[in-house]
């Protein structure tokens, strides 16, 4: 299978287990799950899918020589995402606005009920081992450390939003050693850390994200309350969910209002003194490892002021949204 990735370039994917997983119904569904949630009304032309990101995670692990089990884990890590990705954390109580962890909470059960276990069994891969993140330090690490998921989604966001041309500079300056991602020098590590900070400030935890999360959450929650959709529908695709709700917009004025808010047709502002509702956004910051003067250091070791940024940006962002109507 020939595959062109906007971040890493051209690849030939030949591993039978990877091809079977990519071609599975569970994985193909990710083509219609927006990576950011529903960003198009705020940033036209930037939509990209969980499918693209998941393959990117796999490609990154493959490029750096991760074992096939870790490549598989990277490939399937997002299959349990609902429609509209992390917007679900603003709809269902099973997640958290501050942590964006609904997908993680349902991942194990979701995978076990899919066709993935049978595919892994076909290739003598142990499901329990694949599902245990402790086995895969390159694939998964807590903030502010790096992991393949975090590296891929950040480089992909930066490419989509034209912050960088592609990921080549960073991948050329990145090593994977003893289960750790390490930049070859402080300069490239700091550039990546500052790029990630900009992405967090402008996109991941910025005001447009707060509005997206709140308005999509309100729209879906209301649709659920009116039985326009079911909770099961949320695990189909963005398009299917929108299609099921759409016929009710003309006859339900509240739904119509929420639809216009969700599609950025109504003005808004962030005003702690006059607001319709509060919303939290998960905030992210990284502190990469790098080679510096013959030793492995963190960015904050070389530049102690980065510790202040870590402390500030590790807290969820709180917004006070006021809509014009």
pLDDT tens for 127-142 read 999 999 999 999 999 9
Q: How confident is the model at residue 93 (pLDDT cuts 50, 70, 90)?
A: confident
Quick one: three-class SS letters along 161-174? CCCCCCCHHHHHCE
What would the mean pLDDT of 194-223 be, rounded to a whole number? 97
* Residues counted in the chain: 325
pLDDT tens-digit profile of 173-187?
A: 999 999 999 999 999
pLDDT the model gives residue 96: 83
Query: Cβ(55)–Cβ(77) under 8 Å?
Result: no
pLDDT tens-digit profile of 20-34?
A: 999 999 999 999 999
Give the relative orientation of helices 207-225 and 253-262 as an angle to the nearest 10 degrees: 160
pLDDT the model gives residue 94: 62
What would the mean pLDDT of 80-91 be, rounded to a whole number? 96
What would the mean pLDDT of 113-124 be, rounded to a whole number? 98
3-state secondary structure (DSSP) of residue 223: helix
The mean of the pLDDT values for the chain is 97
State pTM to two decimals.
0.96
Q: How confident is the model at residue 51 (pLDDT cuts 50, 70, 90)?
A: very high
pLDDT tens-digit profile of 256-279?
A: 999 999 999 999 999 999 999 999
Per-residue pLDDT for 95 more than 80?
no
Distance CA 289, CA 274 (A): 43
pLDDT the model gives residue 39: 95
Tokens of 303: 């530049």
Query: Cβ(112)–Cβ(10) under 8 Å?
Result: no
Distance CA 173, CA 146 (A): 14
pLDDT the model gives residue 145: 97
pLDDT tens-digit profile of 229-243?
A: 999 999 999 999 999
CB atoms near residue 249 (< 10 Å): 15
Share of the chain above pLDDT 90, in %: 97
């Amino acid at each position: 299978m020939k595959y062109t990735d906007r971040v890493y370039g051209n690849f030939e994917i030949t591993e039978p287990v990877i091809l079977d997983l990519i071609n599975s119904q569970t994985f193909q569904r990710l083509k219609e799950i927006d990576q950011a949630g529903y960003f198009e009304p705020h940033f036209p032309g930037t939509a990209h899918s969980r499918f693209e990101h998941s393959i990117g995670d796999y490609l990154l692990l493959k490029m750096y020589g991760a074992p096939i089990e870790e490549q598989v884990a990277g490939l399937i890590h997002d299959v349990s995402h609902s429609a509209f990705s992390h917007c679900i954390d603003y709809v269902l109580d099973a997640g958290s606005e501050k942590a964006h962890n609904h997908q993680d909470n349902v991942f194990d059960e979701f995978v076990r009920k899919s066709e993935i276990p049978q595919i892994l069994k076909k290739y003598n891969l142990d499901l329990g081992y694949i599902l245990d993140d402790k086995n895969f330090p390159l694939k998964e690490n807590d903030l502010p450390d790096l992991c393949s998921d975090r590296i891929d989604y950040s480089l992909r966001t930066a490419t989509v939003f034209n912050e960088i041309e592609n990921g080549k500079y960073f991948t050329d300056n990145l090593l994977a050693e003893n289960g750790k991602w390490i930049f070859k020098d402080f300069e490239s590590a700091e550039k990546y850390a500052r790029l990630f900070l900009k992405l967090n400030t402008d996109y991941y935890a910025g005001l447009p994200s707060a509005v997206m999360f709140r308005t999509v959450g309100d729209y879906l929650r209301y649709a659920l309350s009116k039985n326009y959709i079911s909770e099961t529908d949320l695990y189909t695709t963005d398009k299917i969910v929108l299609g099921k709700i759409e016929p009710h917009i003309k006859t339900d004025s509240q739904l119509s209002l929420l639809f216009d808010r969700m599609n950025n047709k109504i003005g808004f502002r962030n005003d702690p003194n006059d607001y319709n509702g509060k919303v939290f956004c998960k905030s992210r910051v990284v502190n990469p490892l790098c080679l510096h003067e013959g030793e492995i250091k963190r960015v904050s070791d070389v530049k102690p002021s980065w510790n202040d940024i870590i402390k500030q940006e590790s807290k969820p962002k709180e917004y006070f949204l006021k809509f014009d109507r």
